[in-house]
Structure 1
Amino acid sequence: MPHTTFTLARRTLLAAAALALAAPTWAQSFPTKPVKLVVPYPAGGPIDGVARGLAERLQRLWGQPVVVDNRGGANEIIAGDFTAKSPADGYTILLGADPTFSGNPFLFKKLPFNPFTDLVPITRVVNVNMAFIVPGGLPVNTLKEFVALIKANPNKYNYGSAGAGGPTHVQVDAFLRQEDLQMTHVAYKGIAPAAQDVLSGQVQAMVAGSSAATPHIPSGKMKVLAINGPKRAKALPNVPTFAEAGFPNTEMYFYLGLTAPKGVPKAIVDQIAADTRKVLADQSFVEKTLDVFGFDPISETPEQFAEFLKRDRALAEKKIRAANVSLD
């Protein structure tokens, strides 16, 4: 009997040791085939540019193709739903933004998937500090002057956004409420047509990534009155932050982050996050892929991204409810 007990115990220990040795080997073997990086926007824009730059660098690290799959439309719902319903093996990951991760559950009564439970946070990739942009012909040069102009002319001026309920809408709405200002919201299908109407003077303000304005600043066709963030943007060194402009309680940003279908093994989630952080730590990647759009790299663990999402979702709900917007 003692001999039998020893044998069983020995076998149990050997089996446990074998599993312990196998686990890191299995995790380190990922990926063994092409990885799909789903992007909820069409090819050619800034988000697609980040996705392609990231895919190229991850491909170098992994020795496997990383294929960008553009699935635009429906406020990121198409791409999010596709990712959430993909196999939970790490070979389909989503580079999404605020609408998928925070906003849509408060904008739609019914979604084909639950972004809060059906997608696993991997890491936030970039933060986009949005710029407050006005036409060159508007008679203001500071954000305080803009506020004074709008306050003196309630409902006379318009502001544009990339779409109702999105960050470029609800964050301006929150600012107007904060300052007790009245403007008319004009929703566009994307930031490009909104920018065109700012250029023509049909709308008098919008917030967007700084790259929407930088080509037009030298000609004087656009002015940037302030930019979000703790420090000035590299591309706009003469533009004050909101705090420097006298509005320390104002935040206007959006972000991009990676998620995977629920059920992907944590070892794979951790590896994708760690390898993405390696890419973001490479200064040549930052200069070539992020600086051109005014995007700031963010290096987070899955746990840190999850904590960020808790706070961001609470803010999104508050702003969307206050704006009284629904997309159903």
Structure 2
Amino acid sequence: MNVRRILAGIAALAGCAAAGAVQGEAFPARMVRIVVPFTAGGLADVVARGVAQELTTRWSQPVIVENRPGANTIIAAEHVARAAPDGYTLLMANDPTLSSNQYLYRKLSYDPVKDFVPVINLVQTREILLASRKSGLASVEELVARAKARPGETTYGSYGVGSKAQLDAETFSSLAGIRMNHVPYKGVADVMAALVGGQIDVAWVGVPPSIPMVEGDKVRLLAVAAPQRIAAFPGAPTFAELGFPKMVSQAWFGLVAPRGTPDGVVSRIAADVSAVVSQPAFLDKYVTGVGLEPWNQGPREFGRFLARDRAEYEASIRNAKVKLD
């Protein structure tokens, strides 16, 4: 008999045995890990730790957060993709992990579609356009007029080539018929510092890190990339109000499990996490209180959202002509 067939048969039997063991025990029967592809202290990490703390109490089992940052979330995603499909290893994914990386990299060490099953999409943040006060720009109209009058002179910052901030800027440039100069930085904090210091003119940034900067009058908020005005900045116009209805953008964080995780386990995790993130105290501390918006999409809804998100990213990346390898 072919050796490969024998090995494949052994692997299949092992997989069935593992699945049977999982289905035969009440989940969870031991420690659960939530792998976060970012360093400790960031938004995804804080939300994950809030969820982990509540689940530890609810499940009477330890739920821990493990940080595996780097490579545009690829390191963490690859690790979880290869974990046992039993619900005991989860990934706090975001849009690069499951939507944009597959179009930014020619060769990816994991498959965003085939290697994971959606569990629950937790939160989102809308992207907003900020201007440096030193730029003298007070409106989107002024930005467009200046960029048209002096093509390539207006600068925008992003937290890296291929980042959402760059894709948003290039999408808007295409819609407005303008050309701006891209200045990449290492992270959002560096972009904010550059805006305050006047090294760049504008930048697309998420709501949470923008709140203290806008409220402190250190930067100027020009518009929000949302279908309607948002609670964090109710006085700020949407791009649709300014004549750009297609300029809509959000970033999100959600939990996924390795493909093959039993449906019953996925449903249990989704239901319990949904109950956790629906609590007013949790929302106030970890979501709305820091400028995020609750999403709470279950497995099916999350899956449908991912299909739309991937299509939008594919078009955006093709338009921006960005590749990371």
How many residues are aligned here? Answer: 305
Contact 1:31-1:62 at 8 Å conserved across structures: yes
Are 2:286 and 1:289 equivalent residues in the alignment? yes
User: Partner amino acid for 1:229?
Assistant: A
Aligned equivalents of 2:286, 2:193: Cα separation in 1: 24
Contact 1:38-1:83 at 8 Å conserved across structures: yes
Aligned equivalents of 2:206, 2:288: Cα separation in 1: 11
Q: Name the counterpart of 1:136.
A: 133
User: Partner amino acid for 1:317?
Assistant: E
Aligned equivalents of 1:197, 1:272: Cα separation in 2: 41
User: Partner amino acid for 1:194?
Assistant: V
After superposition, give the CA deviation of every residue in 1:139-186 in whole Å (9 maximum; x if it has no partner).
232222222222222111111111111211112211111111111111
Q: Name the counterpart of 2:218.
A: 221
Are 2:209 and 1:184 equivalent residues in the alignment? no
Q: 2:311 aligns with which of 301, 309, 314?
A: 314
Q: 2:205 aligns with which of 204, 208, 212?
A: 208
TM alignment of 1:63-212, pairs within 5 A: 63-212=60-209
Q: 1:304 aligns with which of 301, 304, 325?
A: 301
Gaps of 5+ in 1: 1-22
Q: RMSD in angstroms over aligned alpha carbons? A: 1.8
Pairwise CA distance, 1:28:
8.5
Aligned equivalents of 2:229, 2:261: Cα separation in 1: 38
Contact 1:150-1:181 at 8 Å conserved across structures: yes
Pairwise CA distance, 1:71:
0.6
Are 2:274 and 1:277 equivalent residues in the alignment? yes
Pairwise CA distance, 1:26:
5.3
Contact 1:137-1:221 at 8 Å conserved across structures: no
Aligned equivalents of 1:276, 1:269: Cα separation in 2: 11
After superposition, give the CA deviation of every residue in 1:114-147 in whole Å (9 maximum; x if it has no partner).
1110111112111110111111222232222222
Q: Name the counterpart of 2:45.
A: 48
SS at the partner of 1:288? helix
Larger Rg: 1
Query: Structure 1 residues 244, 280: CA separation in 2 closer, same or farther (over 3 Å shift)?
Result: farther
Query: Structure 1 residues 157, 27: CA separation in 2 closer, same or farther (over 3 Å shift)?
Result: farther
Q: Name the counterpart of 1:5.
A: none
Aligned equivalents of 1:108, 1:210: Cα separation in 2: 27
Which is further off, 57-66 or 256-265? 57-66
Aligned equivalents of 1:319, 1:105: Cα separation in 2: 13
Q: Structure 1 residue runs of 4+, over 6 Å off?
A: none
Contact 1:125-1:258 at 8 Å conserved across structures: yes
After superposition, give the CA deviation of every residue in 1:274-304 in whole Å (9 maximum; x if it has no partner).
1121122112111110123321111222111
Aligned equivalents of 2:273, 2:150: Cα separation in 1: 48
SS at the partner of 1:298? strand
Identity of aligned residues (%): 38
Contact 1:170-1:319 at 8 Å conserved across structures: yes
SS at the partner of 1:130? strand
SS at the partner of 1:213? helix
Query: Structure 1 residues 280, 158: CA separation in 2 closer, same or farther (over 3 Å shift)?
Result: same
User: Partner amino acid for 1:54?
Assistant: V
Q: Name the counterpart of 1:35.
A: 32
After superposition, give the CA deviation of every residue in 1:60-102 in whole Å (9 maximum; x if it has no partner).
2212111111110000000000000011110000011111101
Aligned equivalents of 1:143, 1:78: Cα separation in 2: 38
Contact 2:23-2:262 at 8 Å conserved across structures: no
Contact 1:160-1:206 at 8 Å conserved across structures: yes
TM-score, with normalisation over the residues of structure 1? 0.88
Query: Structure 1 residues 47, 225: CA separation in 2 closer, same or farther (over 3 Å shift)?
Result: same
Q: 2:251 aligns with which of 235, 247, 254?
A: 254
Contact 1:84-1:261 at 8 Å conserved across structures: yes
SS at the partner of 2:253? strand
Aligned equivalents of 1:284, 1:111: Cα separation in 2: 39
SS at the partner of 2:255? strand
Contact 1:122-1:302 at 8 Å conserved across structures: yes
Pairwise CA distance, 1:27:
8.2
User: Partner amino acid for 1:143?
Assistant: V
SS at the partner of 2:90? strand
Contact 1:36-1:92 at 8 Å conserved across structures: yes
Gaps of 5+ in 2: 1-19
Q: Name the counterpart of 2:59.
A: 62
Contact 2:288-2:294 at 8 Å conserved across structures: no
Aligned equivalents of 1:207, 1:267: Cα separation in 2: 40
